[in-house]
Amino acid sequence: MKPRTLILAAVLMMTTQNYLFSQDKLNIKFGKVEASDFDLSKFTIDSGANAVVIADIGDSYFEGNNKGWFSLVFKRQTRVKILNKNGFDAADVYIPLYYNKDSREEAGNLKGTTYNLENGKVVSASLDKKSVFQDKLDRNHNAAKFTLPAIKEGSLIEYTYTIRSEFYFNLQPWSFQGRYPVLWSEYEVSIPSIFDFVFLSQGFQKFDISEASNRANNYMIRESGGTGAGSAFTFSSNDGIHRWVMKNVPALKEESFTSTIQNHIDKVEFQLATVMVPQQAPENYMGNWAKLSEKLMKDEDFGETLDKDNNWMNDDMKTILQGASDSKEKMYRIYAWVRDHFTCTDHSGKYLSNPLKTVFKNKNGNVADINLLLTAMLRYEKLEAYPVILSTRHHGYTHPVYPLINRYNYVICQVVADNQNYYLDATDPNLGFGHLSSDCYNGLARVITPDLAAPVDFSPDSITESRLTSVFLFKEKNPGELSGKFSSKLGYYESLNLRGKVKEKGEQQYFKDLAAANSEMELVNLKLDSLKIPEVPIQETYEFKMKNEGDVAYINPMLGEGIKENWFKAADRLYPVEMPYTLDETYIFSMEIPEGYELEEIPKSARVSMTEGKGIFEYLIAKDDQNIRLRSRLQLKKATFSRDDYQELREFFSYVVKKHQEQIVLKKKK
């Protein structure tokens, strides 16, 4: 088959209008730029944009090869205008490539040009192919990287490349959206009838064009005969043609409380499901979870060595477990030893980077190295332990049905004792036994056994970050003076972060920073309880003194513990709100009215609730002649809120901030 060009047939019909976006075709001639092409005033572009993608066009199709089968061809052509210096990184191009021990993808026909307008004339600078570099990413992926030359504010850049691949299953995905606004993004795929792909799409933008059609095609397939004569045959196909176009796509914008923007980017992906060779039974390529689990457990870089020839750990295991009386203690000892003696060099990975024995010797490795070693050590002691694959929040969602292994980037360990499952991650020295970082709570994970990949749901809705804070103020003999006691039982993840800070800077420095942040008070007897017990939350306590000498005293009863600004400032939001956990924060305040003062004004009690009880806020305050008491409680019973919930959530937090800023007013007695 003669390779088709990208969807640029309309190039032959160029008009005097340089950028003509007709109803369904793009008229731009790549490789030829005129002075008028620099003018984008006819387009409406986000005023905050640093660059704009004028056109991004991709095309994937199959062709017969000389190995008796099909190859995939992917072509891409992109034109971008750099608006200011903050858009210079648009000239940094990254091309992901797949490889294995038998073959590798290469970026061929690579061309790149920078165009600048100087004294009304277009001056071009071409990419030197010697400046194209290769980066190895993991055992199946690397990347070609280059930066286009002679970049200035106002430059136009273009680049094009072709990937010819023997991996016929690796039909290239396409993202219609990126860090810069896109005026025209187009992708077309042509698939022979022999292949059945599942199409996976996501995002919130609607396609301006979405077309599907069929076209008869003939593929010439040849096979070398070695030293003898080869053979050739023609395969006739009714190709499926799919074309998508999005116009005027806004730039991706990071928003607070988003697990990863990649979960919401407008894109299409493909997964090979079946190959249907005529007169043969269809061959299932997607497989199922049972097959994938079996494959992983036989993989030498994953499960094969968990039980194989591990006697080299025998002497160390005797030392680690000396005096351990039961299975639970053995589990804890092994976990704590790995956690405390190994350094994680990469918190992303699902395959071993070195043999387990080497990892054991070096005392470092990626997350898979450390947690697969932990699994092997537990199994060595005849404990029921299995590896678990998951995708962290920053990596993106897994698919609830299809066994798409590339959606996973992390390995933890499941160990079973007394019919209870414990999930362990030994890569963080501050994590307690049975705890995972909040980044692991990202939906469905899979427990890998020799014949089953059992689903387990690590939903952020299943964990609650609870905090209980108490403040008591006592009057002193001198007018206006108060002494106080502060006590706060932190949430688990707040405690995790605090342990990291203290380990980095020291406990005394933490206390100094705390005192500096509360400079209006004198802090004494500062303590952090349970700091070195990672399984339990930290209790923070201190005593303090306050003094007011004016005729009027203003006291915020939250004493700096309230929510000071709305977490959701944007008027609108494109994506769901994805918090790492649910919340339950309670604050109790009790105050004796200081000597020489009387109460002038007090905030009002309030209770508000979101629909269906998704969020509840209580602010209950009471007084008598000598005392003021407050109880504030904020609960979010969901971690994830839809776009439709956003305005209500924003208004809810706006009210919380308002109440937490209100003050008690005292006036000096006459």
Cα distance between residue 50 and residue 158, in whole Å:
17
Is residue 637 within 8 A of residue 616, CB to CB? The reply is yes
Segments of the chain scoring below 70 in pLDDT: 1-25, 225-229
Cα distance between residue 5 and residue 2, in whole Å:
9
Backbone angles phi, psi at 562, to 5 degrees: -80, 175
Confidence (pLDDT) at 191:
97
Q: 244 to each of 74, 175, 379, 380, 545, how far by Cα in Å?
A: 15, 11, 50, 53, 67
CATH level 2 (architecture), domain 467-668: Sandwich (2.60)
* Fold category of 289-458 in CATH: C8orf32 fold (3.10.620)
Cα distance between residue 650 and residue 657, in whole Å:
11
> Tokens representing 23?
């109803």
Q: If we measure between CA atoms, which residue out of 555, 564, 537 comes closest to residue 469?
A: 537
- Three-state DSSP at 644 gives helix
Helix (H) or strand (E) holding 294: helix 289-297
> Tokens representing 489?
């039982």
The ranges of the chain annotated as CATH 2.60.120.1130 are 467-668
Confidence (pLDDT) at 228:
55
Cα distance between residue 404 and residue 382, in whole Å:
31
Q: What residues contact 651, with CB distance under 8 A and at least 6 apart? A: none
Cα distance between residue 352 and residue 303, in whole Å:
9
Q: What is the DSSP string of 570-630?
A: -S--SS-EE-SSEEEEEEEEEEEPPTTEEEEE-PPPEEEE-GGGSEEEEEEEEE-SSEEEE
> Tokens representing 10?
């309309």
The ranges of the chain annotated as CATH 3.10.620.30 are 289-458
Confidence (pLDDT) at 2:
32
Confidence (pLDDT) at 287:
84
Q: Crossing angle for the helix pair 507-517 and 492-505, nearest 10 degrees?
A: 110
Cα distance between residue 441 and residue 203, in whole Å:
22
Cα distance between residue 104 and residue 567, in whole Å:
46
Is residue 305 within 8 A of residue 298, CB to CB? The reply is no
Cα distance between residue 608 and residue 306, in whole Å:
53
Q: What is the DSSP string of 295-342?
A: HHHT-TTTTTTSSSS-GGGHHHHHHHTTT--SHHHHHHHHHHHHHHH-
Cα distance between residue 237 and residue 257, in whole Å:
48
Helix (H) or strand (E) holding 658: helix 646-661
Cross-strand pairs, 483: 474, 545
The ranges of the chain annotated as CATH 2.60.40.3140 are 9-29+46-284
Is residue 336 within 8 A of residue 389, CB to CB? The reply is no
Q: Crossing angle for the helix pair 367-380 and 327-341, nearest 10 degrees?
A: 150
Residue count of the chain, please give it.
670
**Which is it for the CA torsion 453, 458, 459, 461, positive or negative?**
positive
Confidence (pLDDT) at 5:
31
- Three-state DSSP at 11 gives helix
Q: If we measure between CA atoms, which residue out of 104, 50, 54, 55 comes closest to residue 76?
A: 55
Range 124-133 contact pairs with CB under 8 angstroms and sequence separation of 24 or more: 124/33, 125/149, 125/150, 127/159, 132/107
Q: Say which CATH class 9-29+46-284 falls into.
A: mainly beta
Q: What is the DSSP string of 427-494?
A: T-TTPPTT---GGG-SEEEEEE-SS-EEEEEE-GGG-EEEEEEEEEEEE-SSTTEEEEEEEEE--HHH
